[in-house]
Structure 1
Amino acid sequence: MKTKIALITGGYTGEAEVSFKSSAFVYSQLDHDKYDIYQITITQDAWFYVSDSGIKCPINKEDFTLLLNDSILKFDLAFIMVHGSPGEDGRLQSYFDLVGMPYTSCDALTSALTMNKGYTKAILADIEHINLAKSVLLFDTQRAEGVSLVEEKLSLPYFVKPNAGGSSIGMTKVKVAEELQAAIDKAFDAENTGSQVIIEEFVHGREFSEGIYRNIDGELIVLPATEVKTTREFFDFEAKYIPGLTEEITPADLNEEQQSRIAKILKEIYVRLNCKGMVRIDFFLENDTDKFYFIEINTIPGQTPQSFIPQQVRATGMTEQEFYGTLIEVALKR
């Protein structure tokens, strides 16, 4: 009998449109001879599956079962492909823990923690060879005094972004002091991104993104790095999802010592944050100093054909079908 997989897509934020693209690609790459795959859409209004005949069938949220063709379908595993809330902030993981459903991503605590950029940096601060840009974390009660707090501790230019958002939504690069208040307001007002804003000093360097996961034998595997070169001011939402605005080089041009050093750092981050499944970590290599600077971690990284992780998987000689199959088998074994 085939393993029944609930491929979860959608979500409650503007990142839902990316989730639909990611889940469609994962669906196309999974081994349908081995798995029965059901795409389950989650919105704030409803959780449902659309049958082959076009009928919208609701999920029973009491136990995450599906009434289909007059019989109750129980899933063996949830493959979470929801970017943003509730798939990336721990809420969905908490639900699946309650109903006893295994899933492919990090657990609820790690997911919630890593959605908070400021708290994540605090936990990673003492890892050897890692560097963190100087930053200020603002809470909603500090909105009015934010400019003075930032100018007191940081030097221009700044990156201003929601502390709990993704896809660079609500993010601004500030080069002159007069732009700071508007950037803070934009970050605070970004939809469904929490009530905190983080401001970081700009790091001048090359930008990279690299995936890491644990294989069926429990070994941590670091995928080849991707270097990001964009024609935009920074790697914003448009640069990420509009073709032609960004050059992505996989594998990146890093020497053997740099590859070894960053692999060690990434493994320590994965273990320190108690990650599970696949994650993607973004970082800078600072100009002139050869220091690696942590940017952020993504626990539900994008899986469109052009996304970093599929690029990196292909660069190893592995197929996406093999890779996604490994994630499923590891989660089932866990």
Structure 2
Amino acid sequence: MKKNIAIIMGGYSSEYKISLISGNMVYETLDASKYNAYRIHIFKDKWVYVDDNENEFPIDKNDFSVTVNGQKTMFHCVFNAIHGSPGEDGYIQAYFKLLNMPHTSCDMHQATLTFNKRDCLSVLKPYGIKMAESFYINLGDEIDEDAIINKVGLPCFVKANKAGSSFGVSKVYKKEELQKAIAVSFKEDDEIIIESFLEGKEVSVGVITYQGDTKVLPITEIVSENDFFDYEAKYQGKSQEITPARLTKEEEDKVNQVAKQVYEVLKMKGFSRSEYIFKNGEPHLLEVNTIPGLTKESILPQQAKAAGISLSALFDNAIEEALK
């Protein structure tokens, strides 16, 4: 019997447009001989099933079902393609946990932790994971520019603590630019993290649960045409993404080991993509993403392809792992 798969997409954050692209790619790619796929748009004002004619049918949040022409459909599994809130920050995972509904993403605690850059880095630091120097500010805190610069130096990065796709991120070269950058970050979140600039080769490492085992995918090197790997570089072609990355065997072994350690220490499941910069030959962790982009051009699918895993096989494995 074919399984009913709800592909959730959209979300409440600035990343909703990217999520819709990822979700539609999953919808177009899933094996129709194995699955009945349903596109589910989740927004603050509506949760709806959208059919091929763009008709919308409301989701019953009591049991996450949909009724079309008097016929009620329940789902066997949820494919989570929501970048940002509520798909990547633990909220949707908690909801599905209450419903005992299998889903392709990590558990609630892991989602909440990894979505909070500050908390995630704090948990990993005792394990010897190298990372940039950082300074934390909450909305309403007094901003001591000299203390910030003394801690992290210049240039530095000012980031929204709980946001993705480089929304709310600025690179700051001068003390006079700090206040403006902080204001930009506070538009995305009420917590920010300011980090020292790490100069070196930047790489992205996909780690997934594949056929029951933790699998590190071929590494991608990021070469941005812009000042850093910002939104334009990620989604508007202003970067080179080279898979496999141009690393020495020693560099490759080091970052693979760290990426696998991060995945296993955090007790991850499903997809993950972590970002690193090499400083003095050592990979320094920037962040962990649990709902990475899933289009053909996205980094993790590129890495899967380099590993000999098709998009269809990648998505099918995610569902099979969730149903276990």
Q: TM-score, normalised by structure 2?
A: 0.97
Shift of 1:256: 2.1
**8 A contact 2:205–2:256 mirrored in 1:** no
- Paired position in structure 2 for 1:34: 34
| Correspondences of 1:50-65 after superposition (within 5 Å) | 50-65=50-65
Aligned twin of 1:121: 121
CA contact (8 A) 2:251 2:282 kept: no
Q: 2:242 aligns with which of 249, 252, 257?
A: 249
Aligned-pair CA distance for 1:120? 0.6
Deviations 1:150-191 (A, max 9, x none): 12322111000101110000110001111011111110122x
Structure 2 CA distance for partners of 1:23 and 1:53, relative to 1, 3 Å: closer
Where in structure 2 are the equivalents of 1:191-202 lying within 5 Å? 194-202=189-197
Q: Which secondary structure does the structure 2 equivalent of 1:62 belong to?
A: coil
Residues in 1 aligned to 2:140 and 2:103: alpha-carbon distance in whole angstroms = 36
User: 2-side partners of 1:155 and 1:136: how far apart?
Assistant: 11
Question: Which residue pairs with 1:205 in the alignment?
Answer: 200
Q: How far, CA to CA, are the matches of 1:242 and 1:203 in structure 2?
A: 24
1:99 CA drift (Å): 1.4
Match of 1:207, as an amino acid?
A: E
**301, 310, 332: which one pairs with 2:323?**
332
Alpha-carbon distance between aligned partners in 1 of 2:30 and 2:132, rounded to the nearest angstrom: 39
1:318 to 297, 309, 316: 309
- Superposition pairs for residues 295-306 of structure 1, below 5 Å? 295-306=286-297
CA distance in 1, matches of 2:53, 2:305: 35
Letter in 2 for 1:330: E
1:168 alignment counterpart: 166
Give the structure 1 partner of residue 130 of structure 2.
131
Alpha-carbon distance between aligned partners in 1 of 2:54 and 2:297, rounded to the nearest angstrom = 29
Task: Give the structure 2 partner of residue 235 of structure 1.
Answer: 229
Q: Given that residues 254 and 282 in structure 2 are in contact (C-alpha distance below 8 angstroms), is that contact kept between their aligned partners in structure 1? A: no
Q: CA deviation at 1:226?
A: 0.5
C-alpha deviations, 1:208-240, integer Å up to 9, x for none?
A: 101001122x21100001001011011111111
4+ long deviations beyond 6 Å: none
Query: How far apart, in 1, do the equivalents of 2:208 and 2:54 lie?
Result: 36
**In 1, Cα distance between equivalents of 2:151 and 2:54:** 56
Alignment-derived partner of residue 267 in structure 1: 260
Name 1:151's counterpart in structure 2.
149
Q: Give the superposition deviation at 1:305.
A: 1.4
Matches within 5 A, 1:216-235: 216=211, 218-235=212-229
Question: What is the percent sequence identity of the aligned residues?
Answer: 40
Structure 2: 5+ residue stretches without partners: none
Paired residue secondary structure (2:201): strand
In the aligned structure 2, how far is the partner of 1:277 from the partner of 1:107? 9
Corresponding position of 1:73: 73
Q: Tell me if the contact between 1:138 and 1:146 (Cα under 8 Å) persists in the aligned partners.
A: no
In the alignment, the residues of structure 1 paired with residue 230 and residue 250 of structure 2 have an alpha-carbon distance, to the nearest angstrom, of 30
CA distance in 1, matches of 2:54, 2:293: 27
Relative to structure 1, the CA distance from residue 311 to residue 54 in structure 2 (aligned partners, 3 Å threshold; closer, same or farther) is: closer
- Of the candidates 260, 276, 280, which is equivalent to residue 283 of structure 1? 276
Instruction: Give the superposition deviation at 1:67.
Output: 0.5
Structure 1 residue 255: Cα displacement: 2.1
Deviations 1:282-317 (A, max 9, x none): 00112xx10110010000000111100111011112
Q: Assess if the C-alpha contact under 8 Å between 2:39 and 2:51 holds in 1.
A: no
> Which deviations, in whole Å up to 9, do the C-alpha atoms of 1:235-274 show, x marking residues without a partner?
111111102x111100111222222221111111011112
**Residue type at the aligned position of 1:307:** S
Aligned-residue RMSD, C-alpha: 1.2
- Is this contact kept in 1: 2:166–2:231, CA < 8 A? yes
Give the length in aligned residue pairs. Answer: 324
Farther-moved stretch of structure 1 (272-281 vs 146-155): 146-155
Cα distance in structure 2, aligned partners of 1:55 and 1:79: 21
State the TM-score, normalizing by the size of structure 1.
0.94
1:53 Cα shift? 4.4
User: Within 2, Cα distance between the matches of 1:213 and 1:18?
Assistant: 21
SS of residue in 2 equivalent to 1:126: helix
